[in-house]
Chains A and B, each alone.
Chain A
Amino acid sequence: MVSIANGEADSQQPMPALSEQLARRLLPPAAGETPSTDALALAAAGAYTRLRARLAVFLGEQGFDALWRRAIRLSQQGPLEAGDTARAEASPTLPPGLHGALRGSNAAEAHTRLVAAFASFIGLLFTFIGEELGMRLIAQAWPELTSGAADPQVEGAPL
């Protein structure tokens, strides 16, 4: 099984959920060391495309899209604003449903919201098909996740 071990360095800190750890890993490396909101959006779009390319093969495009929409809804706090759903949005530079999340946000806020969205998606995937199989499929889309390279953005969470 592909797994993410709890590093010794952050043993004093509460361990984020596996889905959140994965979401953090999917985004920052593409966004760079000091990401801007635009760079984060680009990284999110890339991660989304990469996930969709792999997962839609067996979930089906419709299945993937439905799962993504549900994940976006679950990651949103509070009532929805008009047009603030994955179905309503279609942006070439952002995954569906994230336009509103990034609107008016600084880089830190945008990062938090994007991580929440991706973590929600991964968590939902785990809910349906289990952590083991879900991890395996994500690892097939991101082989480097199992390469053993530590993520500089996530303290003490070596792979």
Chain B
Amino acid sequence: MSVSQRVALPLLPTGVPGLDAVLGGGLPEFSFNLLSGTPGAGKTTLAHQIMFANAAPARPAVYFTVMGEPPIKMLRYQQQMAFFDPAKVGESVHFVDLTSVAITQGLNAVLEQIIQQVEALNPSIVVVDSFQAITRTVVAAETSGIDLQTFTQRLAVNLTVWQATTFLVGEYLIDNVQNNPVLTVADGIIALFQSTDRNSVVRKMQVVKSRGQAQMPGLHTFRISEAGLQVYPRMSIVVDKMERTRPLQRGSTGVEGLDALVGGGIPVGDAVLVSGPSGAGKSVLSAQFIAAGAQSGEPGVIAVFEEHPKEFLRRADSLGINLTAMEQAGLLKIIYIRPLDLSPDETLAAIRTAVQEIDAKRVVIDSLTGFELALAPTFRIDFRESLYRLVGALTGTGITVLMTMEITQSSTDLTLSPYVISFLTDNIILLRYVEIAGQFKKSLVVVKMRNSNHSNDLMLYEITPHGMIVRESLDAYDAGGVDTAKLREASRRPTYPGLTADETKLLQALIELREAPAELLARRAGLPVGPQLTAALDRLVSLAYAARLDDATHTYRPVAQLLG
């Protein structure tokens, strides 16, 4: 049958964020569905949420309770949910209890009552809760007058013909439904679980069956809050997006001297891993990356896992990076995800929401180490796979992702990360400590950078009051081990008699830049602009290390013999 000849299957929205995507667009109208799960899994809440989302005076919803949770308790608890609208009760949402009918007259009478109410109210949504209790009644009663299969069949036929989308709520376990007539009749089965791992409990759901729909396979995590259920569809990577030819545009890292090392900037739409030991400056680099994006009109999102956002903002501010202003200008969103038992999909949902809100082009995950710790144990086992899907889902939409990862620096090997995750990214920058002349210095190396003629040099860098600045190469040093280096005698730096440490820094910056205004020199040297800078520059000029080219612009250059 051609597509145009097929009967249309209109889809109802569930009113549950994320669930429509899992179902393949929504619930097929007039379908006969089973909501199954263990006690406390959220079946009743899910049924109520769907019911309140769809009920309207012209096509109301009817909630039949049969020997399950007492209605007075159900109403007491369900009205705590934000979706529960008391104004709809009795108008477009009707509650009917048939427990007495089931007890005194049997299932046949229950069926007749349901049909009678449906014919009278003309509902679009019908819920029968608990259908499992009905099953037990059939088994227990010798004279129920009707078997379960007949009951289910007649119920399905009548409710479908009356154009109602039906939900049977029951404590079925998927393993036990193989020979259950309800399973045969049901068009859709949504199973809810509570997955326990040590002290952690994670809610998961599975669309076991959905006739006529291309549902998302697998288990999807969900949470129940005051707002009701929120489903986090298991991330999948859209292949055509992943396989697309990615543009070779580049975005600045925001770190002076680093763009040149990575071949002109980070390829847009790529993921880059910044790996390094504690205190190496990974978060600083992250902040500069986001600030550089904001300056070029690319909003960014920072997902913070290790520290409170306020601390992140404060530290960035101390480096002259005003993330707060960017946040206020709508160029930045900082998300702090620290609930118990986090799932990767929940993280992605939060990041995606933030990305959509400000049309972000850059995302920072700081750090993968903190992210892993926040995950429920059950997800830590599949951390690599989760990360793969998370990174793929973000870069698949053209977002440039920078992830930081803390590593323990060893004297005997060069570790990029405690996990084998280098396959996740085409771009890795490794930060390391190196011991030089009795001091710990910071160095970095670009391990790999997609389609880039990147530097292989180990470079010294500093965290200055202006942020991270890449200094000179370590090529003048002999390695004495992975994290030690000795300056070769022949390459020993010249000394500049009479200069203080800050003045020497300024002179070195001037030699590197060859010609620069005072402000740029200050940034390069990592010194604050002010009277001290002016005094230092004046001294360089007075000692004939530098020449002032233009008093108006305060441009300097080193004297000729220093450059030779």
A residues neighboring B (CB under 8 Å): 1, 56-63, 67, 128-130, 132-133, 136-137, 140
Contact = CB atoms under 8 A, between A and B. Distances in A.
Interface residues of B, number: 20
Nearest to A124: B72
B90 A61 contact: no
A61 B96 contact: no
Contacts of B73: 128
Contact of B97 (A1, A57, A128, A137): A57
Contacts of B79: 129-130, 133
20 contacts: A1-B87, A56-B97, A57-B97, A59-B71, A60-B97, A61-B97, A62-B100, A62-B103, A63-B71, A63-B72, A128-B73, A128-B75, A129-B75, A129-B79, A130-B76, A132-B86, A133-B75, A133-B89, A136-B86, A136-B89
A63 B89 contact: no
A130 B86 contact: yes
A153 to B, nearest CB: 27
Given A57-B97, A60-B97, A133-B79, A128 B72 contact: yes
A59 B97 contact: yes
A60 B100 contact: yes
Contacts of A63: 70-72, 97, 99
Contacts of B440: none
Contact of B71 (A1, A58, A130): A58
B95 interface: yes
Closest 8 CB pairs of A and B: A60-B97, A58-B95, A61-B100, A133-B86, A129-B75, A140-B90, A60-B99, A132-B86
Given A58-B75, A59-B97, A133-B75, 11 more contacts: A59-B71, A60-B100, A63-B70, A63-B72, A67-B72, A128-B75, A128-B76, A130-B86, A133-B79, A133-B89, A137-B89
A61 B100 CA distance: 6
Nearest to B70: A63
A159 B97 CA distance: 31
Interface in B86-143: 86-87, 89-90, 94-100, 103
A113 to B, nearest CB: 25
A57 B95 contact: yes
Contacts of A62: 99-100, 103
B425 interface: no
B72 A129 contact: yes
Nearest to A129: B75
A140 B87 CA distance: 11
Contact of B94 (A58, A59, A67): A58
Contact of A136 (B76, B90, B97): B90
A140 B91 CA distance: 9
B165 interface: no
A102 to B, nearest CB: 28
Contacts of B90: 136-137, 140
A60 B86 contact: no
- Residue among B79, B86, B95, B103 facing the most chain A CB atoms (10 A cut-off): B86
B65 interface: yes
A60 B97 CA distance: 5
Nearest to A57: B96
A51 to B, nearest CB: 14
A44 to B, nearest CB: 23
A60 B87 contact: no
Contacts of A57: 94-97
Contacts of A136: 86-87, 89-90
A23 B103 CA distance: 32
Contact of A59 (B72, B87, B89): B72
Nearest to A56: B97
A151 B97 CA distance: 33
Contacts of B72: 59, 63, 67, 128-129
Interface in B211-238: none
A18 to B, nearest CB: 16
Contacts of B99: 60-63
Nearest to B66: A60
A59 B71 CA distance: 5
Interface string B55-78: 000000000010000111101100
A132 B79 CA distance: 10
Contacts of A140: 90
A62 B99 CA distance: 8
A132 B90 CA distance: 13
Contacts of B65: 58, 60
Contacts of A59: 71-72, 97
A140 B86 CA distance: 13
A96 to B, nearest CB: 16
B254 to A, nearest CB: 54
- Residue among B71, B87, B98 facing the most chain A CB atoms (10 A cut-off): B71
A140 B90 CA distance: 7
Contacts of A133: 75, 79, 86, 89
B157 to A, nearest CB: 25
Contacts of B98: 60
A70 to B, nearest CB: 11
A57 B87 CA distance: 18
Contacts of B71: 58-60, 63
A62 B65 CA distance: 12
Contacts of B86: 1, 130, 132-133, 136
- Residue among A58, A61, A132, A140 facing the most chain B CB atoms (10 A cut-off): A58
Contacts of A60: 65, 70-71, 97-100
Contacts of A132: 86
A140 to B, nearest CB: 5
A129 B75 CA distance: 6
B133 to A, nearest CB: 13
Contacts of A1: 86-87
A58 B94 CA distance: 8
A109 B100 CA distance: 35
Nearest to B102: A60
A40 to B, nearest CB: 28
A129 B90 CA distance: 14
Nearest to B117: A57
A151 to B, nearest CB: 23
Contacts of A67: 72
A62 B101 CA distance: 10
B97 A58 contact: yes
Contacts of A128: 72-73, 75-76
